[in-house]
Amino acid sequence: MPPHFQLDEDNDVIHDAEAFSLATESAYQAAYSPLRLYLRQLVVDKVKRENPKLAAIQHRYRSPGLDRLFVFSGMLGNHSFFMIALPFLHTFGMGAFARGLTFVVLWSIYFSGFVKDYISAPRPASPPVVQITRSPAHTLEYGFPSTHTTYAVATIVYISHFMLNVWHISTVWVGLMWICGVTIVVGRIYCGLHSFIDVVGGIVIGIIEALCFVFFFDRLDALMLSTAGPLYSIAIFYFAMSSIPRSLDPCPCCIDSFCATSVTLGLSIGYWIHARLPFLWHTGQSDAISWDLSLTLTQNALRCLITIVGSKPFIVSMVKYLVPDYLSQVSSEECSDDSSAKDSDSDCKQDCYVAPTASNIKNRRYGSYALMVSHENLARIPIYSGIPITMCVVSPLLFYMFGLMPSS
């Protein structure tokens, strides 16, 4: 059976996690390595044991006010929020920090998605847990680790390093930022979207990733901006995409990974081109895409406007492709509690599913393979990489055309 959504009396989405998988246990035995099977079983057993605890927490603490708080905090830690917020860092010329934070956020999506596909453990079962979310499609993903937790923790750790060690900002502001992060993490449990082990896994991955970028991003950034930078970027992108584990279910985590890493690819190439634009050589400010202190406030405002408006077509495309079409249809149709919608959901999920036969397992063409190599998914690479390239290359060209370049 495909995943089933309905609305309870409080208009909360219910997801039958026990019916999530299209594959049988024998299929997992045939397709997964002994280590992968062992780790998966550990997490699955842990999630099952935690289900009654999660239901008890909701029964005791749920209230309309907390529902709104944690749903809102979840929106602050989702893909759309970061995709809208991150470009402003580049717009205001924060250079290496903006690139580093963008890499931290987007590679968090890749790393958490990688582990999700590898472990292939479902989310907490509903019922008994009630899943409170405005994005039912995300409950079609595996549960371990929590992606929200991964990039929330990674982002806060990375920013905290700069606030404390580079900018020397008061610890009060750092503490407030961590309170927001804790709210996002606790919200994943309160909303029934993740178990305790999912959140712990996200915290561990987020901290490790953030520390790696803190200590090594300067070297990586220099490598990406070197003469052969685009070749390194393409090689890293290809290795990352080809290394995504095949999952037995058409989990959309791989789509998020394609989108996120495509943006980092475009960002690396875009900044590489930007640093080599001839009319920027004399300024010595190759990092400042939009804001420049040598210009007037009006000129800077115009540059920001050009950057934001010029990128709008790509941002619209990004939002359009943020959730796969078939998942959007599942969410909207299933929530209407219509029997024909359920049939559509089943057909849709089956269309994206490749049975784990012996030959398919040998060739690694099973489960999510069809979803990964679909034309729609591959089309996301130029779409998402085009967003930062437009920001880094097209905007400065428009500045030059309209006489908004700083004086030499």
Q: Report, as residue numbers or ranges, the catalytic residues.
A: 148, 194
Q: What share of the chain is helix, strand, coil (3-state, %, to 5)?
A: 70, 0, 30
Q: Calculate ∠ Cα 396-233-217, nearest 5°.
A: 85
Taking each helix axis as running N to C, give the angle between helix 34-61 and helix 196-224, from 0 to 180 degrees, rounded to the nearest 10. 120
The structure tokens 């999510």 sit at: 368
| Strand, coil or helix: 367 | strand
Answer whether 324's CB lies under 8 Å from 138's CB. Answer: no
194 φ, ψ (degrees, to nearest 5): -145, 150
Please state, as a whole number, how many other Cβ atoms lie within 10 Å of the Cβ of residue 315. Answer: 16
Strand (E) or helix (H) holding 309? helix 297-310
- For 138, the token pair is 């995300």
Neighbours of 216 (CB within 10 A): 10
Distances (CA, A) of 373 to 250, 350, 380: 12, 16, 11
φ/ψ (deg, to 5) at 300? -65, -40
Question: 334, 345 in Cβ contact below 8 A?
Answer: yes
| Cα 338 → chain centroid | 30
C-alpha–C-alpha distance, residues 46 and 49, integer Å: 5
Choose among 232, 47, 217, 37: nearest CA to 129.
47
> Any bridge partners for residue 5, and if so which?
15
3-state secondary structure of 15: strand
Closest to 195 measured CA to CA, from 136, 127, 124: 124
For residue 39, what are its two tokens?
């780790």
